Amino acid sequence: MSPNLSLIVPTYNRPRELRLVLEGLRHQSGTDFEVVVADDGSTKETRDLIEEIRRDFPRPLLHVRHEDEGFRAAAIRNRAIEKASGEWLVFLDGDCVPLPGFVDAHDRARERGVYLTGQRLRLDALRSEAIDPQRIARGGLARLATPWERIKESYERGRAIVDWIRNHEERPKLISCNASASKEDVVAINGFDERFVGWGGEDDDFGRRLRRSGLRPRSVIGRARVLHLHHPPVPSFRGKVRLGPNYPYLHRGYFLTRCRNGLERRKMQDVSVRILGIPDTLPAPEWTAPCEVDVLLSPSSTPARFHPESEIRVLAIVGPEPDSRLLRECHIVLPQGSAEVRAAEKPAGQVKSPSYLAVMTAILDSLDPLI
């Protein structure tokens, strides 16, 4: 019988921290769950630790690993999602010790149409060193959090209630060290985007795609609590997401709800693309429903506009005076003279326009590296 919840715990060469996280999970009560350790290429020490703990661990304890090719948290989380058998996925980092009631809080709050997000209580180096398996078994770990951390938690909990009432579009922010969602909803958006390599940004992207898919964020701040252990930063850490390697990609100005490089590798041919404003001699696509990508030729011999709900809007300029309004509405501009635009133009002296297939093929090839 499959468990109700699958806890996904990414780790990389931090066996002490991982041991403490697994000890915290050992002492969770009530809910039926499994633990999937998502190993981002750690050495044999991590594998040996998992085998040791598995001998008397009260829950199923699985280990998923890929080769060490740098910080690839998004990719290894996806491999763990594939392995997970629970209907609800709980994401917990390998440096965050769950306090009693953590799993149960996620289980009680879960329902269709929402995803859950919490916070973390940060510990300094001295308090982090004070934690060991015996201390976890005795309980009372929450007392290690500083008064300032508890004040911040209380503030964030109150703000999350207001945000829920106001149906805030972005808060509470999803952080992948304390979040959960149904596996069905995660698979629907194709999991984490594996183009995020290096520290930062993959959980921001994951949250915004869950929101765009129609889910609302619900807070478990103050109920599902974790202690973040102090440790040296990873090499790609720059202190803030905007200073990290993924910031330009995260803020490129457009994204697909169902990312292309996630649980599945989606070719451009698998993305729903519609070309608008095509010459009269080509078949005009239906406009009634949104596509993932709208491509509009401008200026056009036929009246056309972007669908307001299409996720990415591309303007292919085929003449000297493109519509200024469309320039403001689009995400990507294919300039006049580029190969994909030339494929859409009717050469001088030709009676027949290029085929729709030729136009589509050229545009898909050009968009492949951009989307």
Instruction: Give me the CATH number covering residue 221.
Output: 3.90.550.10
Q: 51 is in which domain, residue-wise?
A: 5-250
Does any domain span residue 182? yes
Q: What is the mean pLDDT of residues 221-225?
A: 96
Residue 342 has pLDDT above 60, yes or no: no
3 state DSSP class of 106: helix
Calpha distance 247→227 (Å, rounded): 27
286-309 pLDDT, tens digit each: 656 788 999 988 877 667 788 889
- Token pair 């499994």 is found at 34
Residues sharing a CB contact under 8 Å with residue 250, sequence separation 6 or more, in sequence order? 196, 201, 204, 205, 241
Q: What is the pTM of this model?
A: 0.91
Residue 234: per-residue pLDDT = 83
Residue 287: per-residue pLDDT = 59
Calpha distance 39→20 (Å, rounded): 16
Domain end, chosen from 216, 250, 284, is at 250
Peptide bond into 232 cis (omega under 30): no
28-76 pLDDT, tens digit each: 987 899 999 999 999 999 999 999 999 999 999 999 999 999 999 999 9
Average pLDDT along the chain: 89
Query: Within a 10 A sphere around the Cβ of 306, how many other Cβ atoms?
Result: 24
8 Å CB contact between 40 and 95: no
Quote the number of domains for the chain. Answer: 2
Residue 228 has pLDDT above 80, yes or no: yes
Does any domain span residue 235? yes
8 Å CB contact between 344 and 278: yes
Domain end, chosen from 204, 222, 250, is at 250
Confidence of residue 132 (pLDDT cuts 50, 70, 90): very high
Q: Which of 84, 73, 65, 254 is nearest to 186 (CA)?
A: 84
